[in-house]
Amino acid sequence: MAMAVHYWWFILCIVAMLNIAAWTVSSVLLSRQRDRFTVTSYRRRRWLSWLSAGYVAGCAFRSFLPRIDLERICLVESGLSSMVVGRSVATLAELCFVAQCALLMHHAGSSSGSSFTVITSLLLIPIIMVAECASWYAILSTNYFGHVVENSLWTVSAVLLFASFIFIWPHSDRKQRHFLAAMMIFAIGYIVFMTTVDVPMYWSRWNAQLAAGVEYLPWISGFLDASQPCVVSFDWNIWHEEIPWMTLYFTVAVWVSIALPHAPDWTTRSPIAGQRN
């Protein structure tokens, strides 16, 4: 079964390279279509594209160097595989992704007059910053409850986004509704996965820790421990619960990120080519 982990890792690496290529194509396409957008619209799309680059790069790094944080398990013996390095990369990448969502939803909410969507856009980054703190707490202390909080907050964010899509639906045209429908499908799938697989997985691990009377690490000791080289293992029994979420995270979520710079505007471009705001 160790070969199954090897094959999975190989596929992750191939997908990571394809994702980098896809982002490059997306960026070039956006540049070539510059004349189609107002100055404001193009500037927003460029921000979305660069934020996507941060997320794509972070996910590619984590695809090449997968790890299981609390167990200090990885697939590559390298200083870059330490839990501190990996979590730092993940934190930056995830903040890039949520910033994409916040920027796009603030635009859609402001243009459509949906105060709920605007408020949601302002709440997304603070919520995920708390989630990142919870993740760091889990990694440094080895307490799975931190991951329960982290992934619950991500789920709450997805619910807020889904509600925002509903609020701006009546103010959207056909093209915008096609985009919203695709995002709704993604949000529903994400919420279902998180509530039925991911959060319950970490909840059960936390309960197992409680039953075993596990003593958690102090933060300083935890930081030193998480900075050490990881333990290399291709044991299927260790990785099989991590593979589903990692696979979806490094594929579907990345594709959504790459697509966001090409989302429709909720403002009408001036029909006169030379007039841009």
Angle at the Cα of 126 from the Cα atoms of 121 and 128, rounded to 5 degrees: 95
Rounded Cα–Cα distance for residues 208 and 81 (Å): 26
Q: Is residue 48 part of a domain?
A: yes
Residue 274 has pLDDT above 70, yes or no: no
State the pLDDT at residue 272: 35
State the pLDDT at residue 137: 96
Q: Is residue 277 part of a domain?
A: no
State the pLDDT at residue 221: 92
Task: pLDDT band for 240, please (50, 70, 90 cuts).
Answer: very high
Judge whether 15 and 7 are in contact, CB under 8 Å.
no
Put residue 72 in one of left, alpha, beta given phi > 0 → left and psi -120 to 50 → alpha.
left
Q: Please tell me the number of Cα atoms within 13 Å of 144 on its side-chain side.
A: 19
Q: Is residue 268 part of a domain?
A: no
Print the domain residue range for 107: 2-262
Q: For 147-173, write each residue's pLDDT tens digit.
A: 999 999 999 999 999 999 999 999 988
Q: Is residue 276 part of a domain?
A: no
Residue 271 has pLDDT above 50, yes or no: no
93: buried, middle or exposed (CB in 10 Å: 19+, 13-18, 0-12)? buried
Edge-first strand order for the sheet with 73-74 is: 67-68, 73-74, 231-232
pTM given for the model: 0.91
Q: Is residue 270 part of a domain?
A: no
pLDDT exceeding 70 applies to what percent of the chain?
Answer: 96
Q: Is residue 255 part of a domain?
A: yes
- Domain count of the chain? 1
Average pLDDT, integer, range 205-220:
93
State the pLDDT at residue 275: 36
Q: Is residue 9 part of a domain?
A: yes
Rounded Cα–Cα distance for residues 3 and 11 (Å): 12
Put residue 68 in one of left, alpha, beta given phi > 0 → left and psi -120 to 50 → alpha.
beta
State the pLDDT at residue 77: 87
Q: For 49-85, write each residue's pLDDT tens digit.
A: 999 999 999 999 999 999 999 999 999 988 898 999 9
Sign of the dihedral defined by the CA atoms of residues 150, 153, 159, 160, in that order: negative
State the pLDDT at residue 97: 97
pLDDT exceeding 90 applies to what percent of the chain?
Answer: 84
Q: Is residue 274 part of a domain?
A: no
State the pLDDT at residue 106: 95
Judge whether 194 and 155 are in contact, CB under 8 Å.
yes
Q: For 9-40, write each residue's pLDDT tens digit.
A: 999 999 999 999 999 999 999 999 998 899 99
Average pLDDT, integer, range 105-123:
94
